[in-house]
Amino acid sequence: MNNEKQAQDILRGNAVVGQSGGPTAAINATLAGVIRGVTDLRRGRGECPIRHLYGMKNGVDGLLRGELIDLDLLFDPAVVGSEENLDTLDVDPLLGARLLPAPCRRPVHPMRTP
C-alpha cells in the first residue's frame, strides 16, 4: 500500500476542529455547535461518517505537531456532566482557551506559480 492510500485510510472517518485568534464567546459557540452537530449526526438514522472528533491544540501549529485533543472523551453524551460542560463552553470564553489553548496566528502566504 502506498503512503497516500495509507494516510487516506487513517484519516477517513475522523474530523478535526481548530480555532484561530483569541478566546471569544463566538469561537466557543462555534466549537460547541460542531460538537453538538456531530453528536446529533451520531444519534440520527444511518451511519455517521465522523467516527472520531479531535480538537487542534494551539491551532494549525498544534495540528502540524500532532497535538490533538480527544473531544469525544471530553463531551461524550454518555458521560454524566458532559452536556453541562458543553453548555458552559457556550458562555465561557476561557473554557475554550483551556480546551484548545493558545491558537496560533499563522500567516497565509500567497501561492507561488512556476
Q: Is the pLDDT of residue 96 over 80?
A: no
pTM of the model: 0.71
pLDDT digits (tens, 9 = 90+) for 27-53: 888 888 888 888 888 887 667 788 889
* Strands of 52-56's sheet in order across: 14-17, 52-56, 68-70
State how far the alpha carbon of 63 is from the alpha carbons of 48, 55, 60, 69, 112, in Å: 23, 9, 5, 10, 24
Q: Is the pLDDT of residue 6 over 70?
A: no
DSSP-based three-state secondary structure for 79: coil
pLDDT of residue 105: 63
| Positions of E strands within the chain | 14-17, 52-56, 68-70
Torsion of CA 15, 75, 39, 16, to 10 degrees: -10
